[in-house]
Amino acid sequence: MPEEYVILVNEEDREIGQLEKLEAHRLGLLHRAFSILLFNEKGELLIQQRAAHKYHSPLLWANTCCSHPRPEEPLLEAATRRLYEEMGMTAKMQTGFHFIYRARLDQGLIEHELDHVIFAYSNQEPKINTNEVESYKWISLPDLLKDIEDYPHAHSAWFKIIMHDYLEFISKAAYESV
């Protein structure tokens, strides 16, 4: 498997370098990422359970898809590529907002990302890549919020931040899908 590189950025999202992905997570350096929130026409969010063998956060529930754009790859192209690689889907997408977070993960890794949240819309059923995704489900926002409250350790760090701190934006995006 070839090495993957992430784009190191400053707090204004200006590129300041590149580094091998795992090394960036070992050192906790700020890098560009994206998180896709895909809604269907019922306003339900598609979430995934990360595959058991992922190098961090295995078997945790997370947003529809998340990853890092490759060097020189535009954000929405990266999101389109990764949604198809992980979930076997295509979707209409639009950028939403971005935020910076830092979280200690398992395996001694640190996730320090400038995360671009992308809203996507589709009624397709996923054809998951089992190398990336263990399981998936469509869920209403109220049911998801209750699940995160009842089982916080079952959800990824970044997903909990997105759902807690940016619920107003997410609720509006879900409503637009209906």
Residues classed as catalytic: 66, 113
Query: Which DSSP state fits 88?
Result: S
Cα separations in angstroms, 78 against 15, 31, 160: 16, 15, 23
Cα angle at 171 between 146 and 81, to 5 degrees? 100
* Beta strand 65-67 pairing with 110-121: unpaired
Cα distances from 115 to residues 27, 43, 118, in angstroms, run 17, 23, 9
Helix (H) or strand (E) holding 175: helix 167-177
